[in-house]
Chains A and B, each alone.
Chain A
Amino acid sequence: MKDNTNKKERFSFVGYFKDLVTAIAKGDWSVKLSMLFMGAGYTFHKQVIKGILVTIIEIAFIMMCIFYAAPNLAKFGTLGTVQFEQVLDPLTLQTTVNDYDNSFTILLNSIIALFLIVCFVFFWISNMKSVYRLQVIDNAPDSLLKKRINTFIEDINSLFSEKFHLTLLALPTLGVILMNIIPIFVMIAIAFTNYDQSHMPPNALFTWVGFANFKNILANSMTVTFGYAFKKILGWTLLWAVLATLTTFIFGVLLAMFINSRTTKWPKMWRTLFIVAIAVPQFVTLLLVRYFFGDTGIVNSICSNLGVTEFLKSVGLVSQHLNYIPFLSSEHWAKFMIVMINIWVGVPYQMLIATGVLMNIPGDQIESAKIDGANKFQTFVSITMPYVLFIQGPSLITDFVKNINNFNVIYLLTNNSFITPDQALANSNAKEVDLLVTWLFRLTNEYYNYKMASVIGIIVFIISAVFTILSFTRMIAGDREGDYQ
């Protein structure tokens, strides 16, 4: 029984087209006519209003194709050929602009048009199927079990009862299409064009370049250093994600256990104090911390007063020509500080979660371990940790992916203050402390290098997706959703 429902809730390609073929093969003349005039089937099977509505949609779609899709898609192959030109008329002193092509508008409109066309194909298929269903109901032999064909009012009402999900999902889906799906397709398309600072619409055209940008990101030559920068930044991104996830997790669990322990008085108060630290918006605290640890910041003046700077110099951790500790301005110090500051940001969150998890550890297991003579450390290693890992395992992978895309910590701490000494990195607008996402952001926001940014974005997506699929089954499989119902 359970398997059966599961199958229905998953989409099957074979079944989908099989139904369509049956509908076309076995449909009567009105169903076959619906292939051309979509309202025909409904109209001849007593659903006139629906027939009219469907036909209106069909007409609207055809109009869309003629006036919107066709002119844009015609230029889709070249992304426009007419260069922007301005002519100043010397007599009237008015500038006239020619009827130029805007590559980006063409690309955007073409993608929207293609999307609409695909949607219409699905609509057409589902129309064929439901018309055929009507025919089956209509032609069934008269009996008590015979279903009646819904009136239009009944159809509307069903949108609030058994088909309520359609009503519920309509608007959110539209939002997601507008904000997520279409932009994603646009960006994927841009990865295959030469859209950058020297090809900026409306003044210039850009065009398709195939896989050139993907080759570029692996290339390494005197002029193109993307390959070098990409390798370096990818390495740091992964290292950062591992370090950030593990340190916050371990310290979070330890802190939670420390506060939970019986010795602690007023555990709630301590917890709230830690939460206050993360309740303040990140952009405020992180920017503050950046100045706190600045080259001429307060920590540096305290350190030099206490002689810490001199000590670090003599040990060799700070180079000789500096008279400050380069907390956020030299590569290794900055990386170290970023991880430390991230512990500051992330541990209270992990502490909160771990507290919730720890409270639910089955007490009898710990009790029986005690009776068997296990000490505190042994119970921690063989009971507490496995339990916490079991519960939090999937969310650790999610954290890992979140850290790969952790824009705030890196950007707010190092933007404007970290200057790379490495010319090869600077050539591709990267810095040692950049993550792929902050690099991407700088490439678009400051250097208008959309083509390379898109390539990086696609790579980030692939990395994130691979790790998500690892935790995918547990998060979505819905094994748990039936547990309580």
Chain B
Amino acid sequence: MKKKVGSFFHHLLLIILVVIWLIPILWLVVTAFSGYPGINKTHFFPETWTISNFTTLFLKPDSVVQYGRWFSNTLIIAIFTCIISTVFVLMVSYAFSCMRFKGRKTLMSLSLILNMFPGVLSMIAVYFVLKSLGLTNSHLGMIIVYSAGSGLGYLIVKGFMDTVPVSLREAARLEGASELQIFTKIMLPICKPIIVYQVINSFLLPWGDFVFAKLMLNSGISKDYTVAIGLYNMLDRSLVNQYFSIFCAGGFIVSIPISILFIIMQKFYVEGVTGGSVKG
């Protein structure tokens, strides 16, 4: 009996915690269906329900809302960022994990130090470099911003490659395989799970990034925005009372694919942060 009571309170506490954690998400979902465009200040659930917020998003683009455009902009940027950064990270990881060369450790330390510089600091200089190349407010500029420095984020993938037995590579070398062949034919297939992690991770970056996009996409033309900037813009003081529930609808839609990808990715996240030392 005592055990049952304990179990009841145990689960009650869990339910309370989960409710606390999910309330904002619930608010997002219900407000997305709200018939009142502004912020509902007195009721949690909307008084009138409608799906017009979603139709506005996709079917009635105006000078503020260009959701379809934002979505395709972000998608294009995300796909290219994902390809380039995954390739970069894999190349750097293989070089640092599987090859031994002069200055390897020095390069690794250097890259760690470089990673320490807050991105916000060098961002202004990046902005001017891209501006002088005429790449602000363009897809290419954003892709460069997100993927050019991605080689520095090699630690997790390298950690994974470090766990692959060296005997595999040595056997291949004895058979006369070149490093290129070992890389593409042996390492890449083994690293599939961590490649999935890397792909999802770099794909998610442009969807969630706020800082760089705000700086680079400064034309003020709604068509050029990514989803994050477009949605943020709706909450401008002069717009929020007309667009708040549309903001929620947009946030809800973009959250669905991202949540799914995130949940797929989260199991790799653990290994990444603890640097594989979990196994030790």
Give the B-binding residues of A (Cβ under 8 A). 5-6, 8-11, 104-105, 108, 157, 160-162, 164-165, 168-169, 171-173, 175-176, 178-184, 186-187, 190, 255, 258-259, 261, 263-265, 270, 272-285, 287-289, 291-292, 294, 296-298, 301-302, 344, 348-349, 352-353, 355-357, 360, 391-392, 394-395, 401, 405, 407-408, 411-412, 416, 437, 440-441, 444-445, 450, 453-454, 457-458, 460-461, 464-465, 468, 472, 475-476, 478, 480-481, 483-485
A5 to B104, CA, bound (A): 11
Which 8 residue pairs are nearest across A and B when measured between Cβ atoms? A172-B151, A457-B121, A183-B125, A183-B122, A164-B179, A175-B148, A279-B259, A356-B270
> Is B100 in the interface zone, CB < 8 Å from A?
yes
A sample of 24 cross-chain residue pairs with beta-carbon separation below 8 angstroms, ordered by A number, consists of: A108-B125, A157-B178, A168-B95, A178-B129, A178-B148, A180-B122, A181-B114, A259-B14, A264-B14, A273-B21, A274-B18, A274-B21, A279-B255, A280-B28, A280-B259, A281-B258, A282-B208, A283-B232, A296-B41, A405-B118, A445-B214, A454-B121, A460-B118, A480-B276
**Interface locus among B5-13, B49-57, B65-73, B189-197:** B5-13
B234 to chain A, nearest CB (A): 10
Nearest CB to that of A458 among chain B residues? Answer: B121
Bound: A465/B115 CA distance, A: 10
B277 touches A391 (CB 8 A): yes
Residue in chain B with minimal CB distance to A461: B117
Chain B positions within 8 Å of A405 at CB level = 118, 120
A392: B residues at CB distance < 8 A: 274
From residue 158 to 181 of chain B, which have CB atoms closer than 8 A to chain A?
A: 158, 162-166, 178-180
**Cβ A279 vs Cβ B263 within 8 A:** yes
- Provide the residues of chain A in CB contact with B108, threshold 8 Å: 476, 478
Contact B254 A391 (CB under 8 A): no
Do B274 and A391 have beta carbons less than 8 Å apart? yes
CB <8 Å contact, A484 and B41: no
Cβ-neighbour of A108 out of B10, B128, B162 (below 8 A): B128
Asked if A108 contacts B129 (CB within 8 A), the reply is: yes
Counting chain A CB atoms within 10 Å of each CB, the highest count among B112, B164, B244 belongs to: B112
Assess the B128–A104 pair: CB atoms within 8 A: yes
A445-B215 contact given A181-B114, A464-B118, CB 8 Å threshold: yes
* A288 lies within 8 A of B251 (CB): yes
Report the separation of the CA atoms of residues A317 and B55 in the bound assembly, to the nearest whole angstrom: 45
Q: Contact between B149 and A292 (Cβ–Cβ < 8 Å)?
A: no
Residue of B nearest to A462 (CB): B116
**CB <8 Å contact, A460 and B18:** no
Contact A283 B28 (CB under 8 A): no
CB neighbours of A441 from chain B (8 A): 120, 211
A357 B274 Cβ-Cβ under 8 A: yes
Q: Are B208 and A283 in contact, CB atoms less than 8 angstroms apart?
A: yes
Q: How far is the CB of A477 from chain B (nearest CB, A)?
A: 9
Interface centre among B10, B155, B271, B278 (most CB of A within 10 A): B278
Residue numbers in B under 8 Å from A472 (CB-CB): 109, 112
Pair B148/A10 contact, Cβ less than 8 Å = no
Interface centre among A179, A180, A182 (most CB of B within 10 A): A179
Q: A184 and B121: CB pair below 8 A?
A: yes
Select one of A160, A180, A453 contacting B152, CB under 8 A.
Answer: A180
A182 vs B212: C-alpha distance in the bound complex, in angstroms? 17
CB distance from A11 to the nearest CB of B (A): 4
B102: chain A residues within 8 A (beta carbon): 8-9, 11
Residues of B within 8 A of A (CB): 6-7, 10-11, 13-14, 17-18, 20-22, 24-25, 27-28, 39-44, 88, 91-92, 94-95, 97, 99-109, 111-114, 116-118, 120-126, 128-129, 132, 144-145, 147-152, 155, 158, 162-166, 178-180, 183, 207-208, 210-211, 214-215, 228, 231-232, 235, 237, 244, 247-248, 251, 254-255, 258-260, 262-263, 266, 269-271, 273-280
Closest chain B residue, CB of each to CB of A481: B162
B232 x A287 contact (CB < 8 A) = yes
Partner of B151, one of A175, A264, A464: A175
Complex contact A182–B129 (CB within 8 A): yes
**Contacting B258 at CB < 8 Å: which of A183, A280, A445?**
A280
Complex contact B180–A160 (CB within 8 A):
yes
> In the complex, are the beta carbons of B122 and A279 less than 8 A apart?
no
A279 & B262 in contact (Cβ 8 Å cutoff): yes
Bound state CA distance, A196 and B7, in angstroms? 63
Contacts of A104 in B (CB 8 A): 128
- The answer to whether B237 touches A301 (Cβ under 8 A) is no
* Bound Cα distance from A478 to B113, whole angstroms: 16
**Which of B28, B117, B165, B263 is most buried by chain A, counting CB atoms within 10 A of its CB?**
B117
State whether A437 touches B120 (Cβ < 8 A): yes
CB distance B124 to A453 under 8 Å?
yes
- Which residue of chain A is the closest to B168 with respect to CB atoms? A485
Q: Are A465 and B116 in contact (CB under 8 A)?
A: yes
Q: A9-B104, A281-B228 are in contact. Are A444 and B235 (CB under 8 A)?
A: no
Chain B contacts of A394 at CB under 8 A?
275
Q: Would you call B279 and A184 a contact (CB within 8 A)?
A: no
A184 adjacent to B112 (CB under 8 Å): no
B149 near A176 (CB under 8 angstroms)?
yes
Complex Cα spacing A294 to B149, Å: 38
A12 to chain B, nearest CB (A): 9
CB-CB under 8 A from B235, the residues of chain A are: 287, 291
CB distance from A265 to the nearest CB of B (A): 7
Q: Which residues of A contact B232 (CB under 8 A)?
A: 283, 287
Contact between chains at A179 and B109 (CB < 8 Å):
no
How far does the Cβ of A307 sit from chain B's closest Cβ, in whole Å? 16
In the bound complex, residues from chain A placing their C-beta under 8 Å from that of B183 are 164, 168
- A5 & B100 in contact (Cβ 8 Å cutoff): yes
